[in-house]
Amino acid sequence: MKNNLVRTISKNGGAIVCAIDSTDIVRNMEQIHKTSATASAALGRLLTGAALMGCFLKGEEESVSLKLKGGGPIGTVHAICGTDGNVRGYCDQPLADLPLNPANGKLNVGALVGTDGTLTVIKDMGLKEPYIGQIPIETGEIAEDITAYYAKSEQIPTACALGVLVNPDLTIRAAGGFMLQLLPGASEEEISLIEQNLSKLDAVTTMLDRGMTPTEIAFAVLDGFEPNVLDESGVEYRCNCSRDKMRRVLKGLGKEELETLASEDPETEIVCSYCNKKYLFSAEQLRELAQSK
């Protein structure tokens, strides 16, 4: 797998930028979930955002889960970045779609997600209690919502851009994003230079389409700051489901529910929400599970 995720830092150490070419990740997602154009953009952006948030945790055994519940036609959108940096996700209504946004002619992600609800971020650090932050959704366009999450919940000045370009035949042309975080102590001068850089940048998908690498995109954000690459890695869409995990999910249903399922069907099928893999459990296996401790 080629390196598609990069972490860069300004020479003075005050600004970190992660950038990703998530085209293959979103292509894989579209093949699994058969998403509509707008749903591809919504779930694709959330997956890209999750990968970037995970990139900021690198070196720590943490996973990040994002849950976007805005009351729009797509339902709830889920994305997880595991401790290995790989991502997976799903949405309730992958086929939901809307006409292009009349204001700008773009995919109307904000309306598909909706703005009547919350973005929940769960960081699991392998401790007893995960860290949970929740903010009201601002635009449903996702990059703005992630930026707002960092500002409100973690008090970290952040800039985020996410993009998914969908071909007319619904295949994914390009996808990617970047995230910038300023460490405490950034001067007014530095902040205004960063703002200038950001205002000069084209959309992420335009830059990727032009052949720019994640490193080149990150360096464009940090233009004038003598940036260096901290590390590069390859991340992909990857589900880590297993028969054992599904058994735990079933076990969680409780004894009564398991007995009912066993009496209704000779075989119960469980489908993984993230990768659509099917797991079959016989009535006998369900009854054993109901009896087990």
> In this structure, what token pair is assigned to residue 51?
């990968």
Residue 77 binds to Zn ion (criterion: CB under 5 A): no
Closer to Zn ion at the Cβ: 251 or 277? Answer: 277
Instruction: Provide CB contacts within 8 A for 211, sequence distance 6+.
Output: none
Closer to Zn ion at the Cβ: 66 or 272? Answer: 272
Closer to Zn ion at the Cβ: 90 or 219? Answer: 90
Residue 156 binds to Zn ion (criterion: CB under 5 A): no
* Nearest residue to 21 (alpha-carbon basis) of 199, 236, 191: 236
Residue 237 binds to Zn ion (criterion: CB under 5 A): no
For residue 272, the minimal CB distance to Zn ion (Å) is: 3
**C-alpha neighbours within 13 Å on the C-beta side of residue 185:** 5
Closer to Zn ion at the Cβ: 150 or 274? Answer: 274
Taking the C-alpha atoms of residue 30 and residue 164, their distance in angstroms, rounded to an integer, is: 11
For residue 130, the minimal CB distance to Zn ion (Å) is: 21
Measured at the CA of 75, the angle between CA 117 and CA 154, to 5 degrees, comes to: 40
Contact 147, 135 (CB under 8 A): no
Residue 241 binds to Zn ion (criterion: CB under 5 A): yes
Residue 239 binds to Zn ion (criterion: CB under 5 A): yes
Judged by CB under 5 A, which of 275, 279, 283, 285 binds Zn ion? 275
Taking the C-alpha atoms of residue 272 and residue 269, their distance in angstroms, rounded to an integer, is: 10
Residue 274 binds to Zn ion (criterion: CB under 5 A): yes
Where on the chain is the footprint of Zn ion (CB under 5 A)? 239, 241, 272, 274-275, 277
